[in-house]
Amino acid sequence: ADLEADMKTLAKSTKAFAEAKDLNNAKQQLVIMRQAALSSKKSLPHKLEGLPPENVQVKQYQAGLDQLVAEIDRVTVLVNKGQLDQAKTEAINLVNIRNENHKKFR
């Protein structure tokens, strides 16, 4: 999918995760989120269009998405332990990572 579509998927799944009432639904949203984050890594933002893979900014963009995946994985560990409330608290970091990276690349 293109980056806009992946970002929309990230937005929908993070919202649905925050509203999830049960562990199964929460887990499902995290799987969707993770796929969209990995798919985003295959695209370049408009701001970085045409830059080669070895470009420093391209590397930083990809590192931002790696951070997002790592955070999704930390949230997933808590969901898998049955700790939905703690998982939702941990998930606040997803928003921090989003905001930091949107400042740089959006």
What DSSP state is assigned to residue 36? H
Q: Under rule CB under 6 A, how many of the chain's residues touch ligand HEM? A: 21
Tell me which stretch binds ligand HEM (CB under 6 A): 23-31, 42-50, 51-59, 79-87.
42-50
The C-alpha atoms of residue 11 and residue 100 are separated, in whole angstroms, by 15
- For the segment 2-41, give every residue that binds ligand HEM (CB under 6 A): 3-4, 7-8, 10-11, 14
Residue 66 CB contacts under 8 Å (≥ 6 apart), including other chains: 41
Report residue 2 as tokens. Answer: 């293109």
When binding is defined by CB under 6 A, the residue of 45, 75, 79, 84 that contacts ligand HEM is 45
Residue 76: which residues within 8 A CB-CB, separation 6 or more?
Answer: 27, 30, 34, 87
Task: Give the span between the Cα atoms of 32 and 9, in whole angstroms.
Answer: 8
Among 30, 65, 75, 87, binds ligand HEM (CB under 6 A): 65
Residue 94 makes contact with ligand HEM by CB under 6 A: yes
Query: Contact residues for ligand HEM (CB under 6 A)?
Result: 3-4, 7-8, 10-11, 14, 45-47, 61, 64-65, 68, 94, 97-98, 101-102, 105-106
